Each structure stands twice: as structure tokens, then as C-alpha cells.
Structure 1
Amino acid sequence: MVENNSWSRFMTHCILILGVALVVFPVYLAVIASTHEAGTFLSGTLPLLPGSQGLENYKQVLFEGRSRAGTPPLHTMLWNSFVMAMTITIGKLLVSLLSAFAIVYFRFPFRMFFFWVIFLTLMLPVEVRIVPTFQVVADLGMLNSFAGLSIPLIASATATFLFRQFFMTIPEEMLEAARVDGAGPLKFFKDILLPLSITNIAALFVIMFIYGWNQYLWPLLITTDPEYYTIVMGIQRMVTGADAEPLWHLVMATVVLAALPPILVILFMQRLFVKGLTETEK
């Protein structure tokens, strides 16, 4: 049993504050670095107070881009990443919900065989199957397109498994009551299963959005047109694409803007996200 006294509370708060500082300090440095001029970093020192060039730096990366690094304006890459992440997230949720629904509530030959085939794909991440996937996408003419960026990453064995496990906890009486009321399979799915799955959907939405937003290898492989560059690709090209030293003040401004959408998604869905991860009874 944890001793409840002032000393233990003091030590607990110190440990928490230290942990928060370790996480927040690199973010603080990135924000500070994005507000200074390029010459500030040539001296080899990193200031700890904001500079006066923040608005100019953010305006440059948002609307002008870096021609030497081959990156388009940041608003284009942010939009591309947003479309890709949302398409992957919504597609994964729809496919996983319907797959789990079919596996749990329909009786058809080799039902469990197909489930285990889906589950075993967890051992085959994108990096393992990237060459045949690229060949298929290229043969279908989906290079340099939002379809090529998103569709190959939509299937999710993890989400299918989690939804299946949740659907199996729903009492059989609900299904029988829906049948008595004349509800068909789709009505039962829409009016009963989906409302009960809101917290699970919210938790998976956050995880999958961040997964889609942070994709680097797959977009790098199938996009050669700068109009389809994602924000993660843009950061990498700004660091390594130019012949001269990277302009770290612009790189840090790009990093700060790239981190905002995932942070906003987490903040907006925080309550449902935590509830979906911790709730055991519906």
C-alpha cells in the first residue's frame, strides 16, 4: 500500500514534473528554433528564448516552400498528409468493422480460417510486402495519386481482431431482440453495434490517424511528383535535399506545423480515446 503523506506526494509530483519536462523540452526547443534567423545556428549555439523571425519563417514554409530542397509549399504537403491519413483511417475502420461483423454474426464455410488468415497478416508489415505491393500499384496506374498513397494501407488485421473481440462480448439476447423487432443484419449493425462501438472506434481512429500521418517509406516509394509529397517526406528533403547546410529554423518551423494535426486529433478525442482503451463494460 502506498503511504499517503506529504513526502510521498512531493516525490510523486517531482517525478511527474521531471517526466513532463523530459518530454516537453525538445518540443520547446523546436518552437524556439523556428522563431530565429538562419545565422543564429551557424555559431553553434541554441538560444532558449524566442526570436523575432517566427512569423516570417512560418509564412515562408507555408506558402513558398524550399525550391533548393525540392519541396512544395507546406500547405500542399499538409493537405496531402491529411487526405492520406483520413482515407487510411476511415477505410481501416470501415473494412475492419464489416469484417468483424461478418466473422462474428454470419455462419459461412471456413469462417474461422479466413479470420486466422487475416490475423496472420500482422506478421507481414508494409516493409515486408512492399515490393509486390508496389508492383500491383504500378500495374494499376496508381503511382502519384491519393489512391496509391492510401488504398494499399487500408486493411487492418489489428482493428478487425479488436472489433471481433468486442462484438463477441455483446449478449446474444440483443441479436434475438433485434430479430423479433424485424431488424435485418444491416439495421442491427447500424442501430446497435455501431453506437456500442463508439469508444473503440474513437481509440482506433486516433491510433490509425497517427499511423497514416507518420507514413514515410510508402509515400517515398510511389511518389515522384512534388504535388503528392507528404509532410514527413518534406521534412526529410529539407534536411538532406539541399547542397548547403540545412536551414534549421525552417526545418523546425515545418516540424512544429507537422505535429499540430495529430496533437489536435488527440486533444479533440482525448476523452473517448482514453475511455476506449480502459473501458471493460459497455
Structure 2
Amino acid sequence: MVENRPWRTFFTHLVLIMGVSVIVFPLVVALLAASHENTELIGGIPLWFGGELLANFKTALSRGLQASGGQAVAPMMLNSLYMALGIACGKIMISLTAAYAVVYFRFPLRGLFFWMIFMTLMLPVEVRILPTFQVVADLGMLNSQAGLIVPLIASATATFLFRQFFLTIPDELMEAARIDGAGALKFFWDVVLPLSRTNIAALFVILFIYGWNQYLWPLLITTEEEMYTVVMGIQRMVYVADTVAQWNIIMATALLAMLPPMLVVIAMQRLFVKGLIETEK
């Protein structure tokens, strides 16, 4: 018999409502600020929406802020999109093949090589940023999409997760594929890859957001405005000299910057959740 406890239900819903309110409140503030002219924000953010939301979005996308160099947001969003897609797809492809090689190929010291890959988790970008910058500069990849993407596409975490999943695939599948005459690549493409679909989707969402939110690395290797990312653009808009920041355009840009990650999460929500919680393949 299931006990009906209204007070527990009320408390649970109250906690959920409070949590959602904490998350939604900054978005509402940004939306309110983005819907007004900047002069209306001097005394504080109004408590209701204005009529300048679309105009501010258009200004941000097409012209940007003159105080920060007049860089339009649309090209910066494209740069961020290229970078996020490149990092996510690159990390997944490299991690898939590396994990497949470690699990299904027999070669000397393969365990040592895997743990060497895994130990790179102790060396994040911030720790190895100076030697990485030197390598990128020597290869002539400053102010380029390759320079933004290539140094960040290796992922020990994704390799570890794929390895752990591949170990759960029954050996009978590999033996059956060999009997049918399938080689290593065909087994990978026809068997392993389809079984990894939910894991790939979950990692793609996480890695896309990771690439989209990158700030330090793009700031270090880009000096030309056409290579700026949207996160860098927001920072340049906030810190302007000898003038008042135009918070309506800044908030409009922040909302635009949240749109692609939000669309990716919504589009891949079911596969994302399934890839995180599914244990039986």
C-alpha cells in the first residue's frame, strides 16, 4: 500500500519550484534588460518587458557595440559554433578509435598506454597552456580555426568512458562477426558504433557546451577580430573604457550566446538522458 503524505508532496514541489526559480531568475533579468533601451536601465532594471527586444537582437547580431570595436555578434557566434562542433566531433572520433584499439587489439603495453592517456586528466589546458601555445605558434596556427580546435580535441575522459562501455559488449558479438567474415573496421562500423549511439549523444552534448564556453584558449591565440568567439565578445562589451556599458545589447548578446547550447540540449535530450542512465545495452 502506498502511503499518501501531502506534506511530503508539498515539500518536494516547494524545493523543485525554488530550484527552478534560482535557475530561471538570471534568464528573466537578462530578458528584461534586453527588451529596453539602455537609458531605461540607468536607474535599475524595470520589472516588466519593453518593446526593444528584437531591435536589440538585430543590433547585436549586425553591428555590435561601437565602444568595443563595433564587432557584430553573428560572426563571433559562427566562430564559436565551428569551434564547439570541431572540438565535440574531434574528441568523440579520437576517443572512439583510441578506446576501440585499447579494448579490441592486442599489442604490447596497451594497458600502460591507456593509463598514460588517463593520467593526462591531471594536466588540464591551464597547466599546459604555455607549451601548447608555443607548439601552435610554431605550426603557424595562430588566428585560425585549426588553432582553436586541434589542441583541445584529445579527451582522456571520453576515451575512458568509451573503453568502459566497450568492455560490456559481449565477446560473442565479435566472434560472430569474425565468423561472418567481418574485419576490425566493419565490426567497429556495423556493431560497436550503433551500440555506442546513446553514449556518443551524451558526450556530444557535454563536449559541445565545453567547446562553446571556451574563453581562455581563444583569448590567448586570437588577436584578429574576425576570429573572436562570442564569449570573448561578451567580455569585451562589458569592460569598455571611458563610456557606460550598454547592458541592453550585452544582455541580448548573452541570450543569443545561450541559444545554440540550449537547442543542442533540447534536440538531443532523450538520447542524452538515456546515455547517462542506461546500464543494460
TM range (shorter): over 0.9
8 Å Cα contact 2:95/2:154 also seen in 1 = yes
Indicate the percent of aligned positions where both proteins have the same amino acid: 63
- Post-superposition offset of 1:178: 0.4
The residue number in structure 2 matching 1:109 is 108
Return 196-205 or 33-42, whichever deviates more.
Answer: 33-42
Counterpart CA distance in 2 for 1:24 and 1:41 is: 20
What residue is the counterpart of 2:229 in the other structure? 230
**What pairs with 1:18-37 in structure 2 (closer than 5 Å)?**
18-37=18-37
How far residue 70 of structure 1 moved from its aligned partner, in angstroms, is 2.4
Instruction: Quote the Cα distance in structure 2 between the aligned partners of 1:48 and 1:19.
Output: 21
Map 1:257-276; keep pairs closer than 5 Å: 257-276=256-275
Higher alpha-carbon deviation: 214-223 or 61-70: 61-70
Counterpart position of 1:130: 129
Q: How many residues are aligned here?
A: 281
Amino acid paired to 2:240: G
Asked if 1:200 corresponds to 2:221, the answer is no
AA of the residue aligned to 2:64: G
Partner of 2:245: 246
- Whether the 8 Å contact between 1:71 and 1:226 is mirrored in structure 2 is no
List gaps (5 residues or longer) in structure 1. none
Residue 173 of structure 2 is matched in structure 1 by: 174
Matched, 1:38 2:20: no
Given that residues 71 and 234 in structure 1 are in contact (C-alpha distance below 8 angstroms), is that contact kept between their aligned partners in structure 2?
A: no
Structure 2 matches for 1:31-180, cutoff 5 A?
A: 31-43=31-43, 45-70=44-69, 72-180=71-179
Residue 4 of structure 1, CA deviation? 3.3
Instruction: Give the superposition deviation at 1:2.
Output: 9.2
**TM-score (normalised: structure 2):** 0.98
- Where does structure 1 differ by over 2 angstroms across 4 or more consecutive aligned residues? 1-7
- The offset of 1:141, in angstroms, is 0.4
CA deviations on 1:219-240 (whole Å, 9 max, x unpaired) are: 0000000000000000000001
CA positional deviation for 1:48: 1.8
After superposition, the CA RMSD in angstroms is 1.3
**1:7 is aligned with what amino acid?**
W
User: Which residue identity lines up with residue 57 of structure 2 in the other structure?
Assistant: Y
Shift of 1:16: 0.8
Would you say 1:4 and 2:16 are equivalent positions? no
Aligned to 2:223, the other structure's residue is in SS state coil
Q: Deviations over 1:119-167 (max 9, x none)?
A: 0000000000000000000000000000000000000000000000000
Measure, in 2, the Cα distance between the counterparts of 1:233 and 1:71: 13
Shift of 1:264: 0.5
Does the C-alpha gap of structure 1 residues 71 and 118 become closer, same or farther in structure 2, counting only changes over 3 Å?
farther
CA distance in 1, matches of 2:95, 2:4: 45
Structure-2 separation of matches of 1:62 and 1:98: 39
Determine helix, strand or coil for the equivalent of 1:92: helix
Q: Which sections of structure 2, spanning at least 5 residues, go unmatched? A: none
Instruction: Call closer, same or farther: CA 1:71–1:163 in 2, change over 3 Å.
Output: farther
Instruction: Spell out, residue by residue over 1:179-230, the C-alpha distance to the aligned partner (whole angstroms, 9 max, x if none).
Output: 0000000000000000000000000000000000000000000000000000
Inter-partner Cα distance in structure 2 for 1:2 and 1:27: 39
Within 1, Cα distance between the matches of 2:125 and 2:249? 31
- TM-superposed CA distance for 1:90, in Å, is 0.3
Distance 1:187 1:214 in 2: 36
Instruction: Give the CA deviation at 1:241.
Output: 3.2
**What is the SS of the residue equivalent to 2:67?**
coil
